[in-house]
Each structure stands twice: as structure tokens, then as C-alpha cells.
């Protein structure tokens, strides 16, 4: 992800896929095209699982809990890991805040 | 392309269509793999090749699969940038009251393919009505910072007679703006106004409803592209024709359009090629509607200007003169090509006299017989 300052996202903010996003999937990646980035963002591995959790709308805290349970890791560690990626996806316009 | 790798690429292009050959193919030797990989990437079939592998039709080792996936992902990134470009152009045209129809990949991938990842493209194409053509092209260039790749011979030529114009963006992406669906005589006989009269298809691209040709007319376009497209034969237009033909549409209505546009024989030829190259089952109603049409004298003459070898562009330009509907059109067309603007001339010929003698010779050589 290229760009400047990441966006600060509260763990309790509800986020979802931006409706104007252009998306393609391969067997091992999700490519996201937004207006903010000239080149598509490429998500791989666990970032794909995180991305899919936001399809219908979710909070970062909920997603951290889901992923921690699925992969059998500490929720606090997962929350830290996803914080940066979620902020970057918001900055790029791939995730937006919903009410 | 070797004959073996071209046959394998055709198997890939046919995958998922009714009647496509399901037998698994043997693993690739190293040299055969290189040729096959280059072919499917060149023909933008990497997505379908991976689908073949997932369905057990192609046997790939891990390294081959990884390589193909990487190449496919590179193409998907291009597809996304092109679709964003198309959405921008579509929104812009709508905001300025310009009717348009998106063509080919972005629309066909959503209408006739299982998912967009299976149909990639190299540029984006839109069709504009002749009446709005010049103004819309000028607006696109000015407001979206696009540049024409080639100038028109004289002001108003593209709007009245041209196939279209290619516009390029600073990042290298190309928007092909069409006035008609083929170059040469068949582009001139096509009933272009009817392409806008029919209810358009709407596909969602990045949250925006983009207008496309209705399925039946998109099928005709795929057939024209498959037969009249020029250059080396491509597999994707054949697959598009088969896939769109299998979606279903009012065959009588489309057949009438083709008859009025004098392209019935071209569509029949495209279906013959599709059947022969892809070896798939086309819907019987489609075959009954379009195949078996004997090429007329006009078709034999017109088709001869689209040969893969020989003076294709010049022959098509000369032949177009003879099919224009009125003497007024013919005079304006001939004037633009024989005596074009100085800027256009400088880029191509040495002077007006040379252009004049060359045009007269071509016009006589390619008159209807």
C-alpha cells in the first residue's frame, strides 16, 4: 500500500467494503482497485481472511475475535496485527465506516 | 505459436462451454510448457487455463501453476485499472448527456462468463453515436487528459466514416472509442443507429451501472471481431461468440439486424470458425439462424479486403468508398482521403500528388466486381 498517513480506526467502528471498489480474486490473492491508489492493492494469506470478514460489515474488534478463534491465537495479538492493515485499507478507500 | 500449443490454447479457450472436451491432457515437457504459457498469456487465457487445471483438464506441476498464477494476477491488475478507467469515462459521458455503449471484455465477462476473472482485456472500448462523436471525443481528451493516437484525415471524418479513434491516458491505458463495430466496408454497411435503439445491457462495474450492447448485438460484435479483426487469429472473440450465443437472445430480431447491416455471412463464418477451432456445441437455434448462409457476391468482394496478409487497411479504405450510401458521402469520403489535412499527410505520404495517384489506383483496384 503506497501513500501517506494511515487513518486512525477505532476497534469499535463498524467497517465494510466500499461500494465503488473494483475487485478480482485469484486462488491465492484478492486484488482491490480504489481511486486513491494508482496500482491495485494485493492481499494474500491471512489478509484475505481478514478482508472477507468485512463483507457484510464488522468492527475490527469483532474481526480480531473471529480470526483469533479460527487460527487459535491470542486475541490481543491478532488485534495488534490487524490494526495497521485495517487502517491502510481505510486510507486507500477499500474499507469505509458504516453506521 | 506452434500447432500443438495452439491446439492446447483452443482447448483452454473452449473450457466451460457446452460440449467442450473434458478429457485430461498429459503433463507438459519443459519446452512445450514454455510455448503453451506464452500462448495463453498472449491470448489472455491465463484465467481459463487455471480453471482447466482446477478441473483436471490440464496437469500442471507446482512451479508451472505458480508461474501461471503470477502471470494471471499481473493481468488481473491491468483489468482492474482498465475497468476503473472505463467507469470514469462512463460517468463522465453520462454527466454530459452522451449516449454510449461499453463493448467487449468488461461487459461480456459479466454477461457470458462464470466470473470476470476468466475474461481479461488489453484496453477498454466504447461505442458512441456518430452525431455526438466529435464533441464527445474532444470532451474526453480535454477533461480526462487523453490524447488521440492518430489524427483524422479531415475534420468530421471520424464522425461520418471512421471506425473510431484510440485515446491514450498518461499512464498508458487505452480507450478505443468506436463509431461502428468494424473497419472497412462492413463497418460502413452496419446499421449503427440501431445499436443505440435497442435496450442496453447494464453491468455493475465498481458500483456503477455501465451501459453495454444488448446480448444479441454483443454476439454480432464478437462475430465481426472474430472474422474481420485483422492480424493473427485470436481465440477470445471466438469464445465470446460461443458464450454470448449460449446466453440466448431473440435470434430472429438479431438476424434481421444482420440482414439490414449486410453482415449475415460474416456471422455465419464466425460460427463456422468457432465450431471448427473450439470444437464446442453451439445452440441449434443459433446454427439454424446464422449458418449455411451463402456469401453473396458483395460478401466475397468485401471479405477479400480483410485478409490477414496483403494490403488490408488500404483495401478496406478503398472498398468503403463503394458501399457508402450516397454520392455526397462518397465525395466527402474521397476528398478527405485523397486530399487530407497537411498535418495528416505529413505523417503518412510525401505530398498531395503522391496521395492522389495512390488513392486513385487503390479505388480502381478494389471496386466491386
Chain A residues in contact with B50 by the CB 8 A cut-off are 26-27
Asked if B206 lies within 8 A of A20 by C-beta distance, the reply is yes
Chain A: give the shortest CA distance to residue B141, in Å: 20
Indicate the residue of A19, A29, A39 with minimum beta-carbon distance to B207.
A19
Indicate the residue of B87, B117, B208 with minimum beta-carbon distance to A24.
B117
Instruction: Kindly identify which residue of chain A lies nearest to residue B171, measuring between CA atoms.
Output: A38
pLDDT-based confidence at residue A41 (cuts at 50, 70, 90)? very high
Rounded CA-CA distance B142/B129 in Å is 19
- pLDDT tens digits for range B87-145: 999 999 999 999 999 999 999 999 999 999 999 999 999 999 999 999 999 999 999 99
Instruction: Kindly identify which residue of chain B lies nearest to residue A41, measuring between CA atoms.
Output: B77
- pLDDT tens digits for range B251-271: 999 999 999 999 999 999 999
Determine the 3-state secondary structure of B359 from DSSP. helix
Asked if B77 lies within 8 A of A40 by C-beta distance, the reply is yes
Burial B62-80 (b: 16+ CB within 10 A, else e): eebbebbbebbbebbbbbb
Indicate the residue of A19, A27, A40 with minimum beta-carbon distance to B80.
A40
End-to-end Cα distance, chain A: 26
Rounded CA-CA distance B239/B256 in Å is 23
Beta-strand pair B124-127/B174-178: parallel
Beta-strand pair B101-103/A22-25: unpaired
Asked if B207 lies within 8 A of A21 by C-beta distance, the reply is yes
Reported ipTM? 0.90
Rounded CA-CA distance B319/B333 in Å is 12
Chain B: give the shortest CA distance to residue A85, in Å: 20
Chain B: give the shortest CA distance to residue A42, in Å: 9
Query: In chain A, pLDDT over 70 holds for what percent of residues?
Result: 93
pLDDT at B235 > cutoff 90? yes
Asked if A31 lies within 8 A of B77 by C-beta distance, the reply is yes
Indicate the residue of B76, B207, B208 with minimum beta-carbon distance to A31.
B76
- pLDDT tens digits for range B112-125: 999 999 999 999 99
C-alpha cell at B248: 440466448
pLDDT at B345 > cutoff 80? no
DSSP per-residue codes, B138-180: HHHHHHTT-EESS--SSTTHHHHT-SEEEEE-TTS-EEEEESS
- CA-nearest of B117, B133, B131, B139 to B69 is B117
Rounded CA-CA distance B5/B11 in Å is 10
Instruction: Kindly identify which residue of chain B lies nearest to residue A33, measuring between CA atoms.
Output: B80
Q: Which of B50, B73, B117, B120 is most worth mutating to test chain A (most A CB atoms within 10 A of its CB)? A: B73
Question: Would an 8 Å CB–CB cutoff place A99 in contact with chain B?
Answer: no
pLDDT at A79 > cutoff 90? no
Asked if A22 lies within 8 A of B117 by C-beta distance, the reply is no
Mean pLDDT of the B290-305 span: 89
pLDDT attached to residue B25: 83
- Total CB pairs under 8 A between chain A and B: 52
Asked if A31 lies within 8 A of B72 by C-beta distance, the reply is no
Higher pLDDT, A52 or B313: A52
| Burial grade of B145 (CB within 10 A; 0-12, 13-18, 19 or more) | exposed
Beta carbons of B270 and B241 less than 8 angstroms apart: yes
Beta carbons of A86 and A41 less than 8 angstroms apart: no
Chain A residues in contact with B79 by the CB 8 A cut-off are 24
Q: Which of A26, A30, A92, A94 is most worth mutating to test chain B (most B CB atoms within 10 A of its CB)? A: A26
Chain A: give the shortest CA distance to residue B77, in Å: 6
Chain B residues in contact with A42 by the CB 8 A cut-off are 73, 77
- pLDDT tens digits for range B175-188: 999 999 999 999 99
Indicate the residue of A20, A33, A42 with minimum beta-carbon distance to B81.
A33
Chain A residues in contact with B117 by the CB 8 A cut-off are 24-26
Mean pLDDT of the B272-295 span: 91
Question: Would an 8 Å CB–CB cutoff place A80 in contact with chain B?
Answer: no
Amino acid at each position: 500500500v503506497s501513500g501517506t498517513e494511515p487513518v486512525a480506526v477505532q476497534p469499535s467502528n463498524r467497517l465494510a467494503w466500499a461500494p465503488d471498489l473494483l475487485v478480482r480474486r485469484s486462488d491465492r490473492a484478492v486484488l482491490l482497485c480504489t481511486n486513491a491508489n494508482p496500482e491495485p492493492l494485493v492481499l494474500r494469506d491471512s489478509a484475505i481472511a481478514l478482508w472477507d470478514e468485512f463483507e457484510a460489515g464488522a468492527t475490527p474488534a469483532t474481526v480480531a475475535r473471529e480470526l483469533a478463534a479460527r487460527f487459535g491465537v491470542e486475541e490481543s495479538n491478532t488485534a495488534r496485527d490487524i490494526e495497521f492493515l485495517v487502517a491502510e485499507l481505510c486510507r486507500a478507500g477499500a474499507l469505509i465506516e458504516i453506521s | 505459436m506452434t500447432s500443438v500449443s495452439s491446439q492446447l490454447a483452443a482447448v483452454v479457450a473452449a473450457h466451460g462451454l457446452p460440449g467442450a472436451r473434458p478429457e485430461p491432457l498429459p503433463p507438459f515437457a519443459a519446452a512445450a510448457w514454455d510455448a503453451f504459457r506464452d500462448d495463453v498469456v498472449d491470448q489472455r487465457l491465463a484465467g481459463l487455463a487455471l480453471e482447466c487445471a482446477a478441473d483436471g483438464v490440464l496437469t500442471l506441476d507446482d512451479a508451472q501453476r505458480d508461474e501461471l498464477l503470477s502471470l494471471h494476477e499481473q493481468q488481473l491488475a491491468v483489468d482492474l485499472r482498465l475497468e476503473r478507467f472505463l467507469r470514469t469515462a462512463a460517468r463522465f459521458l453520462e454527466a454530459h448527456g452522451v449516449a454510449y455503449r461499453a463493448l467487449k471484455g468488461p461487459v461480456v465477462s459479466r454477461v457470458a462468463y462464470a466470473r470476470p476473472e476468466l475474461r481479461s482485456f488489453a484496453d477498454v472500448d466504447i461505442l458512441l453515436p456518430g452525431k455526438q462523436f466529435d464533441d464527445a471525443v474532444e470532451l474526453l481528451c480535454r477533461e480526462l487528459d487523453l490524447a488521440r493516437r492518430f489524427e483524422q484525415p479531415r475534420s468530421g471524418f471520424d464522425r461520418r466514416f471512421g471506425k473510431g479513434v484510440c485515446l491514450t491516458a498518461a499512464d498508458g491505458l487505452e480507450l478505443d472509442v468506436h463509431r461502428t463495430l468494424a473497419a472497412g466496408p462492413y463497418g460502413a454497411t452496419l446499421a449503427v443507429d440501431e445499436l443505440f435503439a435497442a435496450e442496453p445491457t447494464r453491468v455493475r462495474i465498481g458500483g456503477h451501472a455501465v451501459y453495454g450492447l444488448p446480448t444479441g448485438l454483443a454476439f454480432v460484435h464478437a462475430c465481426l471481431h472474430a472474422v474481420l479483426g485483422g492480424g493473427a487469429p485470436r481465440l477470445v472473440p471466438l469464445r465470446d461468440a460461443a458464450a454470448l450465443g449460449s446466453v440466448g437472445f431473440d435470434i430472429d430480431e438479431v438476424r434481421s439486424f444482420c440482414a439490414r447491416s449486410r453482415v449475415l455471412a460474416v456471422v455465419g463464418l464466425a460460427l463456422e470458425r468457432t465450431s471448427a477451432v473450439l470444437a464446442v456445441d453451439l445452440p441449434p437455434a443459433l446454427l439454424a439462424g446464422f449458418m449455411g448462409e451463402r456469401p453473396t457476391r458483395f460478401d466475397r468482394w468485401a471479405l477479400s479486403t480483410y485478409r490477414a496478409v496483403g494490403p488490408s487497411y488500404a483495401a478496406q479504405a478503398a472498398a468503403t468508398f463503394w458501399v457508402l450510401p450516397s454520392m455526397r458521402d462518397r465525395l466527402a469520403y474521397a476528398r478527405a482521403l485523397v486530399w487530407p489535412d497537411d498535418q495528416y499527410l505529413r505523417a503518412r505520404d510525401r505530398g498531395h500528388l503522391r496521395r492522389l495517384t495512390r488513392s486513385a489506383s487503390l479505388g480502381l483496384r478494389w471496386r466491386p466486381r
